[in-house]
């Protein structure tokens, strides 16, 4: 571990006071260890919390607590008429953090932005392979196909030339992989022959600067005094890595930490009645669904799919599988995402009518497979149990369901097959808060044989989402997506099952904390009552 005189002085003083936790230090009991500190190299939320969410900024950012995009280090941007050129104007006053290992000599400029993206885009770039990076998210969001070139217009202006119009591009620029790195710091590391340190000792422009990390134990940060939005109200931020949820809860109770993520559902009642704790909650940015294979008889008939949907008792699933930490889903979009169409009416739970509809469609003695995932996910904490409940529901309407499962990687691969037998339980957690990230990725024609597990390509729906993808006007996009959700409901390629509810217990003295709809943990703006 390195020596950091400021912190040592501070900690010795705090220890002398004999307090468990200083009033100016916020302790977050995180659930795991970050894989590294360069967010572009990884895809896990744990790593993003420790890096992008608190240490870095992006050109565009999500407004705290919402999925709306707001200016980040770019104060404004223009989109060309054809939607293929995005020109970002950078703020002039953005300072990088000054640490024991790096002293910046200039504020953020276009070189930093270009460095950030070129290292991911260009395989010849000296930092492309520096940390054995695979740039997963950059690739998963199709950036290499989308970005034709990035140019420096002047010191404070950067232009992205795209290969096609793509409205979600702005939301993509607010994602973790787009966190702006310091070119000056990278140059210093390259000169020292230690480029991998970019992933181990981060330097960003964000509200907290990295102080030290003791593997699997603790990460320390302190407020970045020159943060362009103003220094954070707390002086120090500590991540106390605590993998077990019950122990995290005990630590919050004992005052050893202020905020914890991912409580055990079984502890929620106790937390609710605990005076020292404020139990916050919000719907997660996810959806759990059962995807029929719409290319295989009799599931190619929307009436059959709708009938099966009406046979599923979602409330029972919420009670048993989610133990209350979920809410029934009626749309393929979660309610926290913009353009969510609340006027859509869900198919009622009505086994009798469902049975009638199946008979009307000429379906009798139907037997089918229901696939249950072998892993726990936020959108489905116990797929096996969920499949059993669905199996019982289907039996009520005379449909015999057999539950099948495979190892996770195998499950994901096999469920992609266009001639797949049976209906698949799966789900999705949003990446960038853009409706396109759900509707096109999971239900678009291009995704058939891939992430479109319903193998559903429906022209009226496809036209709507394609038009929305190339329209930059937000109101118009909202209208198109709302209509797409109506079409989806009529056609019923999935049974939309549930959105999880995210719970976050925080201690009473914590103020102004907001749950991030993306599942991140952002501590800028949080205060501690004395």
Partner 1 sequence: MLSFLVRRLLTFVPTFFGVTLVSFAFIRLLPGDPILLLAGERGVSQERYEQLSAQLGFDQPLWKQYIDYLAGIFQGDLGTSFVTKRPVIDEFFALFPATLELSLCAIVIAILLGIPAGVIAAVYRGKFFDRTLMTTALVGYSMPIFWWALLLIIVFSSGLGWTPVSGRISLMYFFDTPTGFMLIDSLLADQDGAFLSAVSHLILPSIVLATIPLAIIARQTRSAMLEVLGEDYMRTARAKGLPPLKINGVHALRNAMIPVITVIGLSVGTLLAGAILTETIFSWPGIGKWMVDSIFRRDYQVVQGGLLMIATIVMIVNLTVDVLYGLINPKIRKG
Binding site for partner 1 (CB under 8 A): 1-4, 7-8, 11-12, 14-16, 19-22, 25, 27, 32-33, 35-36, 41, 43, 131-134, 136, 139-140, 196, 199-200, 212, 214-218, 220, 238, 240-244, 246-247, 250-251, 253-254, 256, 407-410, 412-413, 416, 426-429, 450-451
The least distance separating partner 1 from the CB of residue 199, rounded to whole angstroms, comes to 6
The candidate with the shortest Cα–Cα distance to 504, out of 272, 336, 333, is 272
Q: Residue 36 or residue 107: which is nearer to partner 1 going by CB?
A: 36
The least distance separating partner 1 from the CB of residue 518, rounded to whole angstroms, comes to 15
Per DSSP, the chain holds a count of helices (H) and strands (E) of 17, 19
What backbone phi and psi angles, to 5 degrees, belong to 377?
A: -135, 160
Q: Residue 131 or residue 491: which is nearer to partner 1 going by CB?
A: 131
Q: Residue 111 or residue 196: which is nearer to partner 1 going by CB?
A: 196
The least distance separating partner 1 from the CB of residue 243, rounded to whole angstroms, comes to 5
Could you count the other beta carbons within 10 Å of the beta carbon of residue 134? 12
Q: Residue 45 or residue 107: which is nearer to partner 1 going by CB?
A: 45
H-run or E-run covering 236:
strand 236-240
Q: Residue 70 or residue 217: which is nearer to partner 1 going by CB?
A: 217
Tokens 């969920």 correspond to what residue? 386
Tokens 């797409």 correspond to what residue? 484
Q: Residue 408 or residue 473: which is nearer to partner 1 going by CB?
A: 408
The least distance separating partner 1 from the CB of residue 181, rounded to whole angstroms, comes to 16
Q: Are 449 and 416 in contact (CB under 8 A)?
A: yes
Packing angle, helices 110-121 and 183-192, rounded to 10: 60
Q: Residue 241 or residue 304: which is nearer to partner 1 going by CB?
A: 241
Alpha helices (H) in 99-200, listed in sequence order: 110-121, 136-140, 143-146, 169-173, 183-192
The least distance separating partner 1 from the CB of residue 159, rounded to whole angstroms, comes to 27
The least distance separating partner 1 from the CB of residue 180, rounded to whole angstroms, comes to 21
> How far is 236 from 208, CA to CA, in rounded Å?
8
The least distance separating partner 1 from the CB of residue 345, rounded to whole angstroms, comes to 28
Q: Are 330 and 486 in contact (CB under 8 A)?
A: no
> How far is 252 from 506, CA to CA, in rounded Å?
8
> How far is 530 from 510, CA to CA, in rounded Å?
10
Token pair, residue 199, equals 């992933």
Q: Residue 241 or residue 480: which is nearer to partner 1 going by CB?
A: 241
Task: State the Cα angle at 202 between 251 and 240, rounded to 5°.
Answer: 5
H-run or E-run covering 77:
strand 74-79
The candidate with the shortest Cα–Cα distance to 238, out of 252, 220, 225, is 220
Tokens 């910046």 correspond to what residue? 104
Q: Residue 199 or residue 491: which is nearer to partner 1 going by CB?
A: 199
Pairing of strands 400-404, 367-371: parallel
Token pair, residue 243, equals 């993998």
DSSP classification of residue 97: P
The least distance separating partner 1 from the CB of residue 125, rounded to whole angstroms, comes to 15
The least distance separating partner 1 from the CB of residue 244, rounded to whole angstroms, comes to 5
Q: Residue 105 or residue 273: which is nearer to partner 1 going by CB?
A: 273
The least distance separating partner 1 from the CB of residue 140, rounded to whole angstroms, comes to 5
């Amino acid at each position: 571990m390195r020596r950091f005189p400021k912190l040592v002085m501070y900690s010795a003083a705090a220890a002398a006071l004999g307090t468990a936790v200083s009033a100016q230090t916020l302790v977050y009991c995180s659930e795991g260890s970050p894989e590294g500190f360069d967010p572009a190299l990884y895809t896990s939320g744990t790593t993003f919390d420790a890096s992008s969410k608190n240490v870095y900024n992006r050109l565009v950012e999500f407004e705290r607590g919402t999925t709306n995009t707001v200016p980040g280090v770019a104060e404004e941007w223009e989109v060309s008429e054809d939607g293929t050129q995005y020109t970002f104007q950078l703020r002039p006053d953005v300072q990088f953090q000054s640490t024991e290992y790096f002293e910046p000599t200039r504020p953020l400029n276009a070189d930093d932005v270009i460095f950030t993206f070129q290292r991911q885009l260009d395989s010849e770039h000296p930092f492309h392979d520096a940390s054995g990076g695979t740039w997963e998210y950059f690739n998963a969001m199709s950036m290499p196909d989308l970005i034709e070139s990035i140019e420096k217009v002047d010191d404070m202006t950067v232009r992205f030339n795209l290969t096609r119009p793509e409205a979600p591009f702005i939301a993509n620029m607010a994602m973790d992989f787009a966190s702006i790195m310091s070119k000056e710091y990278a140059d210093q590391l390259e000169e020292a022959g230690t480029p991998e340190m970019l992933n181990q000792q981060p330097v960003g422009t964000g509200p907290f600067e990295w102080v030290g990390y003791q593997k699997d134990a603790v990460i320390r940060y302190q407020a970045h005094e020159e943060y362009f939005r103003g220094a954070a109200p707390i002086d120090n931020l500590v991540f106390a890595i605590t993998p077990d949820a019950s122990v995290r809860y005990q630590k919050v109770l004992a005052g050893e930490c202020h905020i914890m993520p991912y409580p055990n559902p079984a502890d929620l009642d106790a937390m609710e009645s605990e005076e020292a704790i404020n139990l916050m909650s919000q719907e997660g940015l996810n959806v759990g669904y059962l995807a029929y294979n719409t290319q295989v008889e009799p599931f190619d008939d929307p009436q059959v799919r709708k009938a099966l949907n009406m046979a599923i008792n979602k409330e029972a699933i919420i009670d048993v599988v989610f133990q209350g930490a979920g809410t029934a889903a009626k749309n393929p979009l979660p309610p926290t995402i913009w353009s969510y169409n609340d006027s859509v009416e869900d198919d009622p739970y009505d086994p009798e009518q469902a049975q009638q509809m199946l008979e009307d469609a000429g379906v009798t003695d139907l037997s089918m497979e229901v696939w249950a995932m072998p892993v726990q996910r936020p959108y489905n904490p116990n797929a096996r149990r969920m499949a059993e409940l669905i199996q019982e529901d289907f039996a009520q309407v005379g449909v015999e369901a057999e539950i099948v499962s495979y190892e996770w990687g195998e499950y994901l691969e096999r469920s992609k097959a266009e001639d797949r037998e049976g209906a698949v339980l799966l789900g999705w957690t949003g990446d960038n808060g853009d409706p396109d990230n759900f509707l096109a990725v999971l239900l678009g024609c291009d995704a058939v044989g891939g992430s479109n597990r319903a193998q559903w390509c429906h022209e009226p729906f496809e036209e709507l989402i394609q038009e929305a993808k190339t329209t930059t006007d937000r109101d118009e996009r909202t209208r198109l997506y709302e209509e797409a959700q109506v079409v989806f409901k009529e056609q019923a390629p999935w049974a939309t099952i549930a959105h999880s509810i995210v719970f976050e217990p925080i201690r009473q003295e914590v103020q102004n904390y907001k749950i991030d709809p993306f599942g991140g943990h952002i501590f800028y703006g949080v205060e501690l009552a004395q």
